[in-house]
Amino acid sequence: MMHPDFFETDRHSIQLGAGAALLGGFAKDIGQDLIRHIHDLSAHTPFRHMETRGGKRMSVAMLNCGQFGWISDRSGYRYTALNPLTGKAWSALPPLFLDLATRAADVVGFRDFLPDACLINRYQPGARLSLHQDMDEQDRTAPIVSVSLGLPAIFLWGGTQRTVRPVRHQVFHGDVAVWGGTSRMIFHGIDALKNGYHPAAGHFRFNLTFRKTR
């Protein structure tokens, strides 16, 4: 059950649906530290543009950290314990990442959330993520925790069918979306990113997506 006092003190925070909320500015105070960790991680595992099953290059650049990493290629979408490019384990989840994910999940009523994967997306102007469901996790009882950093974007919140017209929510640096329970399989995405500059992220938007895969 969501903590109602959070929504009373932050007007930008909204309930998206049952078991789903957009927590306005929840991570804003640690935003620069989160981006610093992203740069440290990318120094060891560079961002790359994966391809879809159909062979198309994704406009969003990605990297992983945690026990498992999400990858996409012509063989499909899946989680692996090893980075296929290096044959080595993915970098560990920074404690700051883990603490943020568990605190945000708890606010929305998902206690003891322990993610084992974090997909980091880097958007440049024009990049987008089409409506999709997070379907590759074996454990779908756990929520998804998504952290917005850098440039603002339009978060698309749809329904359980792709044909449902999504609601458009503007998300800003430090906003955190959490969805689980009956909202776990909602279609969602990010509209094409507009040009801009953010003092902590430059001309980019970063997104941290925490998941429990097993």
Evaluate if residue 199 carries a pLDDT over 70: yes
Written as six digits, the tokens of 112 are 């003891």
Q: In this structure, are residues 92 and 114 in contact, taking their beta carbons and an 8 Å threshold?
A: no
Give the list of residues 6+ apart from residue 156 with CB closer than 8 angstroms, or none: 131, 166, 167, 168, 169, 187, 188, 189, 190, 191
Evaluate if residue 8 carries a pLDDT over 60: no
- What's the pLDDT tens digit per position in 164-188? 999 999 999 999 999 999 999 999 9
Query: Residue 37, exposed/middle/buried by CB under 10 A (0-12, 13-18, 19+)?
Result: buried
Q: What is the pLDDT of residue 11?
A: 47
The mean pLDDT value for 119-142 works out to 97
Binding annotation? 70, 77-79, 121-123, 132, 134, 136, 162, 188, 205-211
Binding annotation for 2-oxoglutarate? 121-123, 205-211
% helix, strand, coil for the chain, step of 5: 20, 35, 45
Evaluate if residue 7 carries a pLDDT over 70: no
pLDDT band at 214 (very low <50, low <70, confident <90, very high): very high
Q: What is the pLDDT of residue 12?
A: 80
The residue that leads in pLDDT, 5 or 101, is: 101
CA angle, residues 115, 121, 126, in degrees to nearest 5: 155
CATH topology of domain 30-142+185-211: Jelly Rolls (2.60.120)
Mean of the per-residue pLDDT values for the chain? Answer: 95
Please state the φ and ψ torsions of residue 135, each to the nearest 5 degrees. Answer: -115, -5
Q: How far apart are CA 204 and CA 193, in angstroms?
A: 9
Please state the φ and ψ torsions of residue 37, each to the nearest 5 degrees. Answer: -65, -40
Percent of the chain with pLDDT over 90: 94
Which residue in this structure is represented by tokens 């979306």? 177
- What's the pLDDT tens digit per position in 31-83? 999 999 999 999 999 999 999 999 999 999 999 999 999 999 999 999 999 99
Binding annotation for substrate? 70, 77-79, 136, 162
Helix (H/G/I), strand (E/B), else coil: 38: helix
Evaluate if residue 9 carries a pLDDT over 80: no
Binding annotation for Fe cation? 132, 134, 188
Evaluate if residue 145 carries a pLDDT over 50: yes
Give which of 101, 166, 109 is closest to 132, Cα–Cα.
166
Range list of β-strands (E), 86-157: 117-123, 129-132, 144-150, 153-157
Written as six digits, the tokens of 199 are 């003092």
